Amino acid sequence: MGLSCGIVGVPNAGKSTIFNALTSANAQTASYPFTTIEPNTGIVEVPDERLTKLAQIIKPERIIPATLKFIDIAGLVKGASRGEGLGNRFLAHIREVDAIVHVVRCFEGKDVSHVFGDIGPKRDIEAVNLELLLADLETVEKRLSKAEKAAKSGSKEARLELEFLGRLKEHLGRGNPVRTLLTKGEEEERILGELNLLTKKPVLYVANLEEGQLNNLGEIVEGVAREESGEFIKIYGKLEAELAELPEDERGAFLEALELKESGLDRLIKAAYRLLGLITFYTTNGIELRAWTVGKDTKAPKAAGKIHTDFERGFIRAEVISFEDYVGVGSEASAREKGVFRIEGKDYKIQDGDVVYFKFKV
């Protein structure tokens, strides 16, 4: 699984605490800035109730879930875009990820210092986003300088790029992230892809709360996410860290006592999965049941290539049962008998929850 989410925020927002709970990687945590200098990386399983139900029916020897990569990136501070506080290294780490999980401190935690002296979720969000915007603005200005020279040749492509970069610079200059910019066609999307701008990456805002909290700080974070049409969840970071330390068979009772259906970490992973535009399909040979991850609208041959390049190269057809149909009839054989087993060709787009048997020849 190549896609990754970078966990960012101001220092002491609880990023490493949440990362530790997610990955059980025991990343270093402390009450002072820059504890995380080199990013910690962990692979986490994607919670999947469908995989569990299929396993109960198929009873395979091996079950392999889908996974996501999370990277704990050091806290961003004012001036990071100018290299302050090891800013250049941190921004480079963010540039390498596919999506951003922005942890926002909404807990008092008197024993944990705050880089700005007091709690202010909106201010903290703006501080991080400003550094990302400034870094993007610098990237665009460099490209704009080259485009101005190229446009003197009079080529239509160069003039179009110059016009787009000017519009992009103006958009950033007004304090707007690139992900809120409406592009005009494939050429503008191509240029954005080459620029790899930080504020183009999708963001999941995570309000890091404490138990018994009565203020509305979480709602402030939710409001920011809503303005950007982004994802948002609340999480109790310290509580989740305690939950992660329990034996797996005790976690259900712990959640039940708190009247929770699932952990905040499970919700975070699922939200990150949605943020990346991912879906899951399943394959099984009776011995192994495996969940595979692809982007929405992925066609069957490309999905087959996730398993092996030969599957894509020699693709013949995909034999497909939806998850609902599989559970409804109880087996592959019954699916064939009852006519819910579909034959799909190379233009079929894999649907979330499909159980797929690929036929190929090389």
- Tell whether 287 is covered by a domain: no
Give how many domains the chain has, as a whole number. Answer: 3
Six token digits for residue 2:
């190549």
- For residue 36, the model assigns a pLDDT of 43
* DSSP H helical ranges for 84-120: 87-95
Helix (H, G, I), strand (E, B) or coil at 43: strand
- For residue 88, the model assigns a pLDDT of 56
Residues 6+ apart with CB under 8 A from 30: none
Which amino acid makes up residue 230? G
**CATH number of the domain enclosing 310:** 3.10.20.30
Helix (H, G, I), strand (E, B) or coil at 8: strand
192 and 206 inside one domain: no
Partnered with residue 235 across adjacent β-strands are: 208
Domain that holds residue 109: 4-118+200-275
Tell me the pairing of strands 288-295 and 278-284.
antiparallel
Six token digits for residue 227:
């303005």
- Tell whether 213 is covered by a domain: yes
Count other C-beta atoms under 10 Å from residue 152's C-beta: 10
* C-alpha gyration radius of the chain: 23
95 and 212 inside one domain: yes
Between CA 129 and CA 137 the distance in angstroms is 12
pTM tops 0.75: yes
Between CA 106 and CA 12 the distance in angstroms is 11
First to last CA, the chain: 25
Which amino acid makes up residue 150? A
Six token digits for residue 328:
């409804």
Q: What is the mean pLDDT of each run of 10 residues along the chain (362 residues)?
A: 83 88 57 50 90 96 93 71 53 89 89 78 92 92 89 81 94 93 90 93 94 84 90 90 82 78 86 92 95 95 95 96 95 90 96 96 88
253 and 104 inside one domain: yes
- For residue 250, the model assigns a pLDDT of 82
pLDDT in tens, 256-291: 877 777 888 888 999 999 889 999 999 999 899 999
- Tell whether 124 is covered by a domain: no
Six token digits for residue 5:
């989410």
Helix (H, G, I), strand (E, B) or coil at 350: coil
**CATH number of the domain enclosing 167:** 1.10.150.300
62 and 78 inside one domain: yes
- For residue 197, the model assigns a pLDDT of 95
DSSP 299: B
Helix (H, G, I), strand (E, B) or coil at 42: strand
